Amino acid sequence: ASSSSSSSSRPRASLEFTLEVTEDAADIRAAAACRALAFANYPSDRSTFAIRSAIAMKIDAESAALGRKIHGGSPAEGGEVGHDDIEVVCIVARAPCVGELPVGFDLRALDPQCLSVRECGSSIVVGSLDVNVGANLPSEELLGTLSAGRRAYLSNVSVLDPARRQGVARALIERAMQLGAELGLETMYVHVKVSNVAAQNLYSSAGFEIESRENRSVETTLGREPRLLLRRRV
């Protein structure tokens, strides 16, 4: 009984992580796995095998697409469709595979593809995002109006569930803003679903403000939920 009491009163450990701009193949694969797991949302009646198979397919697709986006250029040159004029930079948050991890953060419960093994050591990618430097973000209808030629869009902002509420997302955003300053950008944009209040609160606390919003008609015309376009001066 005393052991159980001691365990339940144990203070929550904070997650130690570092941020890095990366083009490393192992990191790209791990970031893709992080995104597939963070965004996974499947009906409860689907089998574990079906869900794992679907996630594995998403990891493969996202890893290949992210690699092409970072490579840049036209599809004929090895780039991603629609990203000819977009420079994509991937930022990852990595936690070391040694030392104390937060309560509830069990490496054994994570998909092994979130593990990035490099010559400098192994780490688990717990979060990532892309900075898309260009006039528009492909696949999104809302376009920024400020800083033509000096704007970028955040996308694929994701954090693994066990690593949430540890400041990972906010740190990724601030690193992206720092990168924007290094690249001479003036305005950073991000698209958020109207219903995603948590994301709206995150960006608001990080200094973003609403620039525009889509009409509800997109539910019929595009078959998806309306977006908000938020911005922050770099």
- Quick one: DSSP state of residue 67? H
Tokens of 219: 């539910």
In this prediction, what percent of the chain has a pLDDT beyond 90? 59
Q: How far is 96 from 196, CA to CA, in rounded Å?
A: 30
Of residues 121 and 133, more confidently modeled: 133
Tokens of 171: 């740190």
Report the pLDDT averaged over residues 20-34: 95
Residue 96 confidence (pLDDT):
81
* pLDDT over threshold 50, residue 3: no
What residue ranges define each of the domains in the chain, with the CATH number in brackets?
14-233 (3.40.630.30)
Q: How far is 58 from 64, CA to CA, in rounded Å?
A: 10
Least confident among 36-45, 113-122, 195-204: 113-122
Residue 121 confidence (pLDDT):
66
Residue 64 confidence (pLDDT):
95
pTM: 0.86
Report the pLDDT averaged over residues 113-129: 80
Amino acid (one-letter) located at 101: L
Q: What is the pLDDT of residues 73-113, one digit of tens each?
A: 888 888 898 898 999 999 999 988 765 555 555 655 555 66
Q: What is the pLDDT of residues 157-168, one digit of tens each?
A: 999 988 889 999
* pLDDT over threshold 80, residue 5: no
- CA of residue 125 relative to chain centroid, distance: 11
Q: How far is 126 from 115, CA to CA, in rounded Å?
A: 9
Residue 43 confidence (pLDDT):
79
* pLDDT over threshold 50, residue 4: no
Query: Model confidence at 2, in pLDDT bands (50, 70, 90)?
Result: very low
- CA of residue 117 relative to chain centroid, distance: 20
* pLDDT over threshold 80, residue 6: no
Report the pLDDT averaged over residues 212-219: 92
Q: What is the pLDDT of residues 167-180, one digit of tens each?
A: 999 999 999 999 99
H helical segments located in 39-167: 48-71
Residue 8 confidence (pLDDT):
40
Determine contact, residues 23/114, Cβ cutoff 8 Å: no
Determine contact, residues 93/116, Cβ cutoff 8 Å: no
Q: What is the DSSP string of 69-84?
A: HHH-S-GGGT--TT-T
Of residues 30 and 120, more confidently modeled: 30
Q: How far is 233 from 126, CA to CA, in rounded Å?
A: 27
